Amino acid sequence: IILLKTEMYCTIASMPTSDLISHNNLHGKLPSQLSHQKMYEVYGIIGVGGGGMVYSGIRIGDSQPVAIKRIMREKVKRWEKIYGRSVPQEIGLMIRVNGHHGVIKLLDWYECLDSFILVLERPKNSVDLFDYIREVGRMTEKEACMIFRQVVSAVHHIHARGVVHRDIKDENIVLNRDTGESKLIDFGCGTLLHENQYKDFSGTPEFYPPEWFNQHYYKGKTAAIWSMGVLLYDMLCGEIPFKSKQKIGQGKLEFKVSLSSEAKHLISWMLAVNPESRPNINEILQHPWVTLRR
């Protein structure tokens, strides 16, 4: 079926990828009017993320696989100005971070009467990490390290671009089965990165840091380190380390499977209850568990 038959026209805000990378100030000419129905076909729902439904589809001109996310206006909580008009902050965040191999690419975006449409790349033969872990069980340390290193690199990139994701988890990592390449997806819970405390949280409670439950605030970078620690534990152990907010707040970590001492050290460091005791991203990338498995 053709995308969104009930809406005849949307405003297209398509730019070449190179322009998306360079336009970090979010300024540019106003988009033109074009029927998106002539550009994309949609086949079915593949997920729900960040307040919107996500569909699989193709770009008609070259048959490129795409993911098409529709965000209803009434569900948008954070807005910003792009091309002189208010759009969901998610669009602005994706424009800022576009251009890194470990982050899903924003190809086009459209403004409709009651919604916004994001057209995203969709890697072939891919699976999200949640389904992959449930399929294969716990990963080997070598495989987990290959994926984890890519995730850390992607998070390092988005922080450098002034963005915090706030929902780093297995469901938001897409893995290419053929190449092993992984990509961070779904910026619907993200916001601009700053050094002050955040007092609202968007994301998945099982990946929230303990300071949120204990003090009701957190900092963007140290919370991201905690979430990546939960992710690494999940990959290596086949399950998340804490299953309730009480256990997250206590932070008593147990390893139920056999792991190398380096893996245990890195996970324990990232899952320190005191956020100031956690490593920064550079320290993670230089950790022996990461460097010895290249």
Q: State the Cα–Cα distance between residues 144 and 137, nearest whole angstrom.
A: 12
Contacts of range 260-269, beta carbons closer than 8 Å, 24 or more positions apart: 260/141, 260/289, 262/287, 262/288, 262/289, 262/292, 263/141, 263/232, 263/236, 263/289, 265/289, 266/232, 266/290, 267/229, 267/232, 267/233, 267/236, 269/229
Task: Enumerate the β-bridge partners of residue 120.
Answer: 67, 106
How many other CB atoms are found less than 10 A from the CB of residue 46? 16
> Is 247 annotated among the ligand-binding residues?
no
> Is 200 annotated among the ligand-binding residues?
no
* Options 167, 170, 186, 234, the catalytic residue: 167
DSSP SS3 for 89 = helix
- Could you identify the residue written with the tokens 């893995």? 175
> Is 19 annotated among the ligand-binding residues?
no
Dihedral sign computed on CA atoms, order 138, 144, 150, 151? positive
Residue 239 has phi, psi (to 5 degrees) of -160, 160
Burial of 97 (0-12, 13-18, 19+ CB in 10 A): buried
Whether 108 is a known active-site residue: answer no
Mark the binding-site residues for ATP, compressed into ranges.
69, 121, 128
Supply the residues annotated as catalytic: 167
